[in-house]
């Protein structure tokens, strides 16, 4: 554990890491694909999580051989999601960790593939909580030329916090996000969905079942 870099700044993914929104994507997408006699399971979803919407849509349409375009899928999907997003709840340990680091004046950022309009729906009941993040970079930010697994979004977050990437710790749930953070030269703690194959996370510095398991002192951060 002593090989972990000293951390000065922390960056979080949002969906499936801070907020429990992945269940919404599953519910709405299954409703769409079953109209074509298809099933949306984790063999497909595991390749989609963490990526920009259009990239995920292309994977879905291709893998399930759907008779619609990725754009048509997203249009129907987004209508369903808009009704569900405002009810998103924090995942276990997320508020505790972020509030703890905020009290100790550690700069924190969110790096989410969500575009601004959907981001605002997701945090609509959590404005006060999300106000503690110094920087929030969304998927439609001009600096994010390439989505995860490219490092763009993490490098943008670090630059805006004035952080050295090698002293940034990223929390992610998706393989694409993990790969992007590593490509950015950052340390990564992953908290995969229980349905994900953990072998996809062998490059992570630490794998947890829940944020409640995170021990800040292992990263030279203030203990609870």
Q: What is the pLDDT of residue 52?
A: 87
| CATH 3.90.25.10 at 22-86, yes or no | no
Q: What is the pLDDT of residue 3?
A: 57
Q: Specify whether the backbone of 125 is left (phi greater than 0), alpha (psi in -120 to 50) or beta.
A: alpha
Mean of pLDDT values over 13-34: 96
Residue 182's alpha-carbon distances to 64, 169, 186, in angstroms, are 30, 10, 5
Please, are residues 171 and 12 in contact by the beta-carbon 8 Å criterion?
yes
Query: What size, in residues, is the chain?
Result: 224
**Cβ neighbours for 133, distance < 8 A, ≥ 6 positions apart:** 12, 98, 108, 109, 110
Listed by start position, the domains of the chain span 9-20+88-219, 22-86
User: Pairing between strand 168-172 and 9-12?
Assistant: parallel
| Residue 74: both structure tokens together | 């997203």
CA distance 170 to 151: 12
User: Are the folds of 9-20+88-219 and 22-86 the same?
Assistant: no
Which is nearest to 219 in space by CA: 160, 171, 172?
Answer: 171
Name the CATH architecture for the domain at 9-20+88-219: 3-Layer(aba) Sandwich (3.40)
Which is nearest to 186 in space by CA: 32, 12, 47?
Answer: 12
Which letter does DSSP use for residue 19 in this model? B
Per-residue model confidence as pLDDT tens digits over 120-154: 999 999 999 999 999 999 999 999 999 999 999 99
Band of residue 2 on the pLDDT scale cut at 50, 70, 90:
very low
Put simply, whether the predicted model's pTM sits higher than 0.85 gets the answer: yes
Active site residue 15: yes
- Cα dihedral 185→189→191→192 (10° resolution): 40
Per-residue model confidence as pLDDT tens digits over 184-218: 999 999 999 999 999 999 999 999 999 999 999 99
Mean of pLDDT values over 80-97: 97
């Amino acid at each position: 554990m002593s090989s972990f870099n000293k951390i000065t700044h922390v960056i979080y993914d949002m969906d499936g890491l801070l907020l429990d929104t992945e269940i919404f994507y599953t519910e709405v997408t299954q409703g769409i694909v079953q109209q074509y006699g298809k099933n949306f399971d984790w063999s497909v979803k595991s390749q989609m999580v963490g990526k920009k919407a259009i990239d995920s849509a292309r994977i879905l349409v291709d893998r399930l051989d759907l008779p619609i375009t990725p754009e048509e899928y997203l249009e129907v999907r987004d209508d369903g999601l808009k009704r569900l997003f405002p009810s998103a709840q924090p995942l276990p340990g997320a508020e505790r960790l972020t509030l703890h680091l905020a009290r100790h004046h550690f700069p924190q950022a969110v790096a989410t593939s969500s575009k601004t309009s959907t981001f605002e729906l997701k945090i609509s009941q959590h404005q006060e909580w999300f106000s503690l993040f110094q920087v929030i970079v969304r998927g439609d930010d001009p600096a994010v030329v390439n989505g995860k697994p490219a490092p763009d979004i993490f490098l943008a977050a670090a630059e805006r916090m004035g952080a050295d990437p090698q002293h940034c710790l990223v929390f992610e749930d998706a393989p694409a996000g993990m790969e992007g953070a590593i490509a950015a030269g950052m340390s990564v703690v992953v908290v995969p969905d229980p349905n994900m194959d953990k072998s996809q996370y062998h490059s992570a510095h630490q794998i947890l079942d829940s944020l409640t398991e995170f021990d800040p002192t292992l990263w030279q951060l203030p203990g609870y």
